[in-house]
Amino acid sequence: MIYGQGTRLILRQLIFFEIIQLFQLPSESFAIVKKVQDYYFKKAKQENYPARSIYKLEEAQQKHHFIKPGDKVLDLGCHPGSWSLYAAKISGGNGSVVGVDLQKTHIVPPSGSGRIEFICADIFDDDFIPFLSSKIPFQIVVSDLAPKTTGHKFSDHLKSIELSRCALAIASQSLARGGHFYCKVFQGEDFPDFVNEVRHYFKNTKIVKPKSSRVESREVFVLGLEFKGTE
Ligand SMILES: C[S@@+](CC[C@H](N)C(=O)[O-])C[C@H]1O[C@@H](n2cnc3c(N)ncnc32)[C@H](O)[C@@H]1O
């Protein structure tokens, strides 16, 4: 088809406009994402938490009130310690937290908080559950376990599911009846199966996407309320 010079100019401008739109949209969303991240980063700093991930537990706690004063909490994948610190504050002087991570963690809870014991261990280790047996039962098991991400969505999802299943197995062997489980998962093909596995052990199961978790991130949290026990 042969266009006149005027038409060619308009077409060129339209294509140029569309290309600009294509590049503008992601950069605008990127700016919003950065703003939200900065907001939670600054908030965590002001409130003396080592990581902004604290708000992914705080939001769920403020809505569902599953951690109670006096509770014994197991925090899987605890480094650098924000969730442990927050759980120790909620569980208070009569409560306690056991934090577990591959990385050494050290953080001193403020006065009035529960005691925190940090353990440097791999949750997949055969000795890990027998080792925990001297510390059970827990009223709460939380897991923010995350694999080293590769950017390849499917394999990151599979590694996350593997960690979450291990966290669920630990929860099922260490929770007191009526206890609660809160666990991070990267969504993907096996996610619905994992939710069903959680449902098997808990009276009430919810999927939580906190505002502090980036919208474009595939992470969500599964909350299992009221552990039914294994018998
Ligand atoms: C997102 S970070 C946890 C942040 C923490 N909730 C906080 O608020 O400070 C995830 C952690 O999972 C830990 N992790 C991953 N695989 C693990 C494993 N097999 N055993 C123990 N910890 C593991 C990582 O070392 C990492 O520190």
Q: What is the pLDDT of residue 98?
A: 98
Can you tell me the distance from the alpha carbon of 10 to that of 138, in angstroms, rounded to the nearest whole number? Answer: 69
Task: Please state the domain count of the chain.
Answer: 2
Looking at residue 3, what is its pLDDT?
47
Residue from 57, 78, 106 whose mutation best tests the ligand 1 pocket (most atoms within 8 A of CB): 78
Burial class of residue 227 (count of CB atoms within 10 Å of its CB; 0-12, 13-18, 19+): buried
pLDDT value of residue 58:
98
Q: What is the DSSP letter of 70?
A: T
Please indicate, yes or no, whether residues 42 and 112 belong to a single structural domain of this protein: no
CATH of the domain at 219: 3.40.50.150
Relative to beta strand 138-143, strand 175-186 is: parallel
Higher pLDDT, 158 or 22: 158
pTM metric for this prediction: 0.88
Residues 156 and 203 occupy one common structural domain: yes
Paired with 73 in beta bridges are 97, 140
To the nearest whole number, what is the mean pLDDT of the chain? Answer: 89
Instruction: Report which of 84, 82, 88, 90 is spatially closest to residue 50, judged by C-alpha positions.
Output: 82
CA of 219 to the centre of ligand 1 (A): 14
Structural domain harbouring 35? 1-46
Averaged over 55-64, what is the pLDDT? 98
Q: Which long-range contacts (CB under 8 A, 24 or more apart) does 107-111 make?
A: 107/50, 107/80, 107/81, 109/84, 109/85, 110/48
- Residues paired with 222 in a beta bridge: 183, 207
How far apart CA 120 and CA 122 sit, in angstroms, is 7
Same domain, 132 and 149: yes
User: Which of 145, 150, 170 maximizes ligand 1 atoms within 8 Å of its Cβ, making it the mutation to test the pocket?
Assistant: 145
The per-residue pLDDT for range 180-228, each reduced to its tens digit, is 999 999 999 999 999 999 999 999 999 999 999 988 889 999 999 999 9
pLDDT tens-digit profile of 111-164?
Answer: 999 999 999 999 999 999 999 999 999 999 999 999 998 888 899 999 999 999
Dig out the tokens for 73 from the structure.
Answer: 């909490």
- The tens digit of pLDDT for each residue in 66-106 reads 999 999 999 999 999 999 999 999 999 999 999 999 999 99
The set of protein residues with a Cβ atom below 6 angstroms from ligand 1 is 50-51, 53-54, 77-83, 100-103, 122-124, 144-146, 163
Q: Supply the pLDDT for residue 37.
A: 75
